Amino acid sequence: MSEKPQGNGVEKKLPSRRIADELRAAITSGELPEGRKLESERKLAERFESARNTAREAVRLLAEEGLVDVQHGRGVFVRRKRKLLRFGSERYSKRLREQTGLSPYRAELAKQGLTPRVDCTSIERVVPPSQIAERLEVDPGQASVVRRENWYYASDDQAEYVVQVGVTYIPWLIAEGSVLATSAKMGKGSLYARFEDLGHPMARSREEITARMPSQEEVQGLKLPDGVPVIDVLHTGIDPDGVAFEVTRFVMRADFGGLDYNMPIEG
Protein backbone atom coordinates (compact mmCIF):
# COMPACT_ATOMS: atom_id res chain seq x y z
CA MET A 1 0.00 0.00 0.00
CA SER A 2 1.44 3.40 -0.96
CA GLU A 3 1.91 6.19 1.55
CA LYS A 4 -0.49 9.11 1.66
CA PRO A 5 0.60 12.58 2.74
CA GLN A 6 -0.82 13.64 6.09
CA GLY A 7 -1.49 17.05 7.63
CA ASN A 8 -3.48 20.13 6.76
CA GLY A 9 -0.62 22.44 5.73
CA VAL A 10 0.08 23.60 2.23
CA GLU A 11 3.11 21.30 2.07
CA LYS A 12 2.13 17.82 3.24
CA LYS A 13 4.88 15.35 4.03
CA LEU A 14 4.73 11.63 3.53
CA PRO A 15 4.65 9.76 6.85
CA SER A 16 8.04 8.18 6.09
CA ARG A 17 9.61 11.62 5.71
CA ARG A 18 8.13 12.77 8.99
CA ILE A 19 9.64 9.74 10.73
CA ALA A 20 12.97 10.33 8.99
CA ASP A 21 12.91 14.00 10.04
CA GLU A 22 12.44 13.10 13.69
CA LEU A 23 15.12 10.44 13.66
CA ARG A 24 17.51 12.74 11.79
CA ALA A 25 17.01 15.46 14.39
CA ALA A 26 17.77 12.94 17.17
CA ILE A 27 20.96 11.87 15.38
CA THR A 28 22.25 15.36 14.66
CA SER A 29 21.51 16.54 18.23
CA GLY A 30 23.33 13.57 19.74
CA GLU A 31 20.22 12.15 21.35
CA LEU A 32 20.93 9.10 19.19
CA PRO A 33 24.75 8.86 19.45
CA GLU A 34 27.14 7.19 17.02
CA GLY A 35 26.90 3.41 17.13
CA ARG A 36 23.46 3.40 18.76
CA LYS A 37 21.11 0.76 17.43
CA LEU A 38 17.78 2.09 16.21
CA GLU A 39 14.50 0.51 17.20
CA SER A 40 13.25 -2.28 14.97
CA GLU A 41 10.86 -1.50 12.12
CA ARG A 42 8.04 -2.96 14.19
CA LYS A 43 8.77 -0.73 17.18
CA LEU A 44 9.26 2.35 15.00
CA ALA A 45 5.93 1.64 13.33
CA GLU A 46 4.25 1.32 16.72
CA ARG A 47 5.84 4.51 18.08
CA PHE A 48 4.91 6.58 15.05
CA GLU A 49 1.57 4.83 14.50
CA SER A 50 2.43 3.86 10.95
CA ALA A 51 2.81 0.77 8.81
CA ARG A 52 6.06 -1.19 8.92
CA ASN A 53 6.79 -0.43 5.27
CA THR A 54 6.54 3.28 6.16
CA ALA A 55 9.13 2.84 8.92
CA ARG A 56 11.29 0.86 6.48
CA GLU A 57 11.15 3.69 3.96
CA ALA A 58 12.19 6.20 6.65
CA VAL A 59 15.23 4.10 7.47
CA ARG A 60 16.08 3.86 3.77
CA LEU A 61 16.01 7.65 3.49
CA LEU A 62 18.43 7.98 6.41
CA ALA A 63 20.73 5.34 4.91
CA GLU A 64 20.83 7.23 1.61
CA GLU A 65 21.87 10.35 3.52
CA GLY A 66 24.72 8.42 5.15
CA LEU A 67 23.30 8.78 8.66
CA VAL A 68 22.73 5.10 9.46
CA ASP A 69 24.20 1.72 8.53
CA VAL A 70 21.82 -1.12 7.76
CA GLN A 71 23.54 -4.33 8.88
CA HIS A 72 21.53 -7.29 7.67
CA GLY A 73 20.80 -9.70 10.47
CA ARG A 74 21.93 -7.22 13.15
CA GLY A 75 19.84 -4.10 12.74
CA VAL A 76 20.24 -0.41 11.93
CA PHE A 77 22.95 1.66 13.62
CA VAL A 78 23.78 5.36 13.72
CA ARG A 79 26.85 5.67 11.52
CA ARG A 80 30.14 6.41 13.23
CA LYS A 81 32.01 9.43 11.90
CA ARG A 82 35.40 8.09 10.90
CA LYS A 83 37.74 10.22 8.83
CA LEU A 84 41.03 8.83 7.56
CA LEU A 85 42.99 11.79 6.23
CA ARG A 86 45.29 11.67 3.22
CA PHE A 87 48.10 14.18 3.79
CA GLY A 88 48.88 15.27 0.26
CA SER A 89 51.91 17.49 0.87
CA GLU A 90 53.90 15.11 3.08
CA ARG A 91 52.72 11.58 2.28
CA TYR A 92 55.48 11.07 -0.32
CA SER A 93 58.17 12.84 1.71
CA LYS A 94 61.60 11.19 1.68
CA ARG A 95 62.18 12.52 5.20
CA LEU A 96 59.04 10.81 6.48
CA ARG A 97 59.91 7.58 4.66
CA GLU A 98 63.44 7.51 6.10
CA GLN A 99 62.23 8.34 9.62
CA THR A 100 59.51 5.69 9.69
CA GLY A 101 60.59 3.12 7.10
CA LEU A 102 56.90 2.94 6.19
CA SER A 103 54.80 3.36 3.07
CA PRO A 104 52.75 6.59 2.81
CA TYR A 105 49.54 4.78 3.82
CA ARG A 106 51.07 3.06 6.84
CA ALA A 107 52.70 6.30 7.99
CA GLU A 108 49.39 8.17 7.69
CA LEU A 109 47.51 5.59 9.75
CA ALA A 110 50.22 5.47 12.43
CA LYS A 111 49.90 9.25 12.78
CA GLN A 112 46.14 8.89 13.25
CA GLY A 113 46.30 6.09 15.80
CA LEU A 114 44.97 3.38 13.48
CA THR A 115 46.38 0.00 12.49
CA PRO A 116 46.92 -0.56 8.76
CA ARG A 117 46.78 -3.65 6.60
CA VAL A 118 47.49 -3.78 2.87
CA ASP A 119 46.60 -6.74 0.69
CA CYS A 120 48.28 -6.90 -2.72
CA THR A 121 45.83 -8.98 -4.75
CA SER A 122 47.54 -9.01 -8.16
CA ILE A 123 50.69 -8.04 -10.05
CA GLU A 124 50.64 -8.44 -13.83
CA ARG A 125 51.97 -6.99 -17.05
CA VAL A 126 49.08 -5.47 -19.01
CA VAL A 127 48.03 -3.15 -21.81
CA PRO A 128 47.39 0.21 -20.10
CA PRO A 129 44.08 2.09 -20.23
CA SER A 130 44.37 5.10 -22.54
CA GLN A 131 44.26 7.58 -19.63
CA ILE A 132 47.21 5.82 -17.99
CA ALA A 133 49.18 5.45 -21.22
CA GLU A 134 48.83 9.17 -21.85
CA ARG A 135 50.21 10.15 -18.44
CA LEU A 136 53.07 7.65 -18.52
CA GLU A 137 53.82 8.25 -22.21
CA VAL A 138 53.87 4.52 -22.99
CA ASP A 139 52.51 2.49 -25.90
CA PRO A 140 48.72 2.12 -25.47
CA GLY A 141 48.64 -0.87 -27.81
CA GLN A 142 51.21 -3.07 -26.06
CA ALA A 143 51.64 -4.65 -22.61
CA SER A 144 53.79 -1.69 -21.65
CA VAL A 145 53.01 -1.42 -17.92
CA VAL A 146 52.96 -3.46 -14.73
CA ARG A 147 49.63 -3.28 -12.90
CA ARG A 148 49.64 -3.71 -9.10
CA GLU A 149 46.31 -3.85 -7.22
CA ASN A 150 46.23 -3.16 -3.47
CA TRP A 151 43.34 -3.14 -1.00
CA TYR A 152 43.82 -0.97 2.07
CA TYR A 153 42.33 -1.66 5.51
CA ALA A 154 42.27 0.25 8.80
CA SER A 155 41.57 -1.10 12.29
CA ASP A 156 40.49 0.75 15.42
CA ASP A 157 39.55 -0.69 18.81
CA GLN A 158 36.25 -1.96 17.42
CA ALA A 159 36.73 -3.43 13.97
CA GLU A 160 38.68 -3.53 10.73
CA TYR A 161 37.35 -1.58 7.75
CA VAL A 162 38.26 -1.62 4.07
CA VAL A 163 38.84 2.04 3.20
CA GLN A 164 40.26 2.20 -0.31
CA VAL A 165 41.60 0.34 -3.31
CA GLY A 166 44.65 1.49 -5.23
CA VAL A 167 45.74 0.33 -8.68
CA THR A 168 49.29 1.32 -9.60
CA TYR A 169 50.65 1.33 -13.16
CA ILE A 170 54.43 1.34 -13.74
CA PRO A 171 56.16 1.48 -17.13
CA TRP A 172 57.59 -1.94 -17.96
CA LEU A 173 60.91 -0.33 -18.87
CA ILE A 174 61.20 0.79 -15.24
CA ALA A 175 59.73 -2.25 -13.48
CA GLU A 176 61.37 -5.02 -15.53
CA GLY A 177 63.74 -7.17 -13.45
CA SER A 178 62.80 -5.53 -10.15
CA VAL A 179 60.50 -6.39 -7.23
CA LEU A 180 58.08 -3.83 -8.67
CA ALA A 181 57.10 -6.41 -11.27
CA THR A 182 57.19 -9.52 -9.11
CA SER A 183 56.62 -9.08 -5.38
CA ALA A 184 54.11 -7.71 -2.88
CA LYS A 185 56.96 -7.22 -0.40
CA MET A 186 58.70 -3.92 -1.06
CA GLY A 187 61.10 -3.80 1.88
CA LYS A 188 61.99 -0.78 4.00
CA GLY A 189 60.49 2.43 2.65
CA SER A 190 58.14 0.38 0.46
CA LEU A 191 57.25 1.27 -3.14
CA TYR A 192 58.75 4.74 -3.40
CA ALA A 193 62.06 3.70 -1.90
CA ARG A 194 62.33 1.10 -4.67
CA PHE A 195 61.59 3.75 -7.29
CA GLU A 196 64.38 5.84 -5.80
CA ASP A 197 66.74 2.84 -5.95
CA LEU A 198 65.98 2.68 -9.67
CA GLY A 199 66.80 6.38 -10.21
CA HIS A 200 63.29 7.81 -9.93
CA PRO A 201 62.92 9.78 -6.70
CA MET A 202 59.66 11.68 -6.52
CA ALA A 203 60.15 15.40 -7.10
CA ARG A 204 56.55 16.29 -7.87
CA SER A 205 53.11 14.76 -7.53
CA ARG A 206 50.06 15.51 -9.63
CA GLU A 207 46.70 14.52 -8.16
CA GLU A 208 43.44 14.76 -10.08
CA ILE A 209 40.54 14.44 -7.63
CA THR A 210 36.87 13.86 -8.34
CA ALA A 211 33.85 12.53 -6.43
CA ARG A 212 31.30 10.14 -7.89
CA MET A 213 28.91 7.37 -7.03
CA PRO A 214 30.55 3.92 -6.93
CA SER A 215 30.23 1.08 -9.40
CA GLN A 216 28.51 -2.09 -8.21
CA GLU A 217 31.91 -3.79 -8.00
CA GLU A 218 33.20 -0.97 -5.77
CA VAL A 219 30.10 -1.17 -3.57
CA GLN A 220 30.81 -4.84 -2.95
CA GLY A 221 34.59 -4.58 -2.59
CA LEU A 222 34.58 -1.52 -0.32
CA LYS A 223 31.48 -2.75 1.56
CA LEU A 224 29.81 0.60 0.97
CA PRO A 225 26.54 1.43 2.74
CA ASP A 226 23.71 2.85 0.64
CA GLY A 227 24.19 6.41 -0.53
CA VAL A 228 27.95 6.67 0.12
CA PRO A 229 29.99 8.14 -2.77
CA VAL A 230 33.68 7.57 -3.44
CA ILE A 231 36.63 9.94 -3.82
CA ASP A 232 38.57 9.15 -6.98
CA VAL A 233 42.23 10.25 -6.84
CA LEU A 234 44.40 9.84 -9.94
CA HIS A 235 47.96 10.28 -8.67
CA THR A 236 51.02 10.68 -10.93
CA GLY A 237 54.55 10.49 -9.52
CA ILE A 238 57.11 12.61 -11.41
CA ASP A 239 60.91 12.50 -10.99
CA PRO A 240 63.39 15.44 -11.11
CA ASP A 241 63.77 15.04 -14.89
CA GLY A 242 60.02 15.46 -15.39
CA VAL A 243 59.48 11.75 -16.13
CA ALA A 244 56.19 10.27 -14.93
CA PHE A 245 57.29 6.94 -13.42
CA GLU A 246 54.00 5.69 -11.91
CA VAL A 247 50.28 6.41 -11.92
CA THR A 248 47.98 5.17 -9.16
CA ARG A 249 44.21 5.38 -9.11
CA PHE A 250 42.91 5.43 -5.54
CA VAL A 251 39.20 4.89 -4.96
CA MET A 252 38.39 5.91 -1.39
CA ARG A 253 35.24 5.56 0.70
CA ALA A 254 34.01 9.13 1.11
CA ASP A 255 32.59 8.38 4.56
CA PHE A 256 36.05 7.30 5.76
CA GLY A 257 38.39 9.32 3.58
CA GLY A 258 39.36 12.98 3.62
CA LEU A 259 42.04 15.09 1.94
CA ASP A 260 44.35 17.44 3.87
CA TYR A 261 46.70 19.28 1.51
CA ASN A 262 49.05 21.96 2.85
CA MET A 263 51.20 23.25 0.03
CA PRO A 264 53.14 26.31 -1.08
CA ILE A 265 51.52 28.79 -3.45
CA GLU A 266 53.32 29.54 -6.69
CA GLY A 267 54.42 33.15 -7.07
Can you tell me the distance from the alpha carbon of 165 to that of 186, in angstroms, rounded to the nearest whole number? 18
Just give the CATH number of 15-78: 1.10.10.10
Model pTM score = 0.76
List C-alpha distances in Å: 145 to 19, 129, 141, 234, 239.
Answer: 53, 10, 11, 16, 17
Residues constituting the chain: 267
| Percentage above 70 pLDDT, the chain | 94
**Would you identify the CATH topology of the domain 84-260?**
Chorismate lyase (3.40.1410)
pLDDT value for 8 = 52
Flag whether pLDDT at 10 surpasses 50.
Answer: no
In the chain, where the domains are located: 15-78, 84-260
143-182 pLDDT, tens digit per residue, is 999 999 999 999 877 678 899 999 999 999 999 999 999 9
DSSP code of residue 255? T
Asked if residue 196 has pLDDT above 90, the reply is: yes
Cβ-defined contacts of 190-197 (< 8 Å, 24+):
190/97, 190/102, 190/103, 190/104, 190/106, 191/103, 191/246, 192/92, 192/97, 192/103, 192/104, 192/237, 193/97, 195/237, 195/239, 195/245, 195/246, 196/94
Contact criterion met (CB below 8 Å) for 247 and 171 = no
Lowest mean pLDDT among 25-29, 96-100, 134-138: 96-100
Q: Above 50 in pLDDT, residue 257?
A: yes
Query: Which residues are bridge partners to 160 per DSSP?
Result: 155
- pLDDT given for residue 88 in this prediction: 74
What is the model's pLDDT at position 198? 97
What is the average pLDDT across 63-70?
82
Q: pLDDT, tens digit, for every residue of 212-239?
A: 999 999 999 998 877 789 999 999 999 9
Does the pLDDT value for residue 105 go beyond 80? Answer: yes
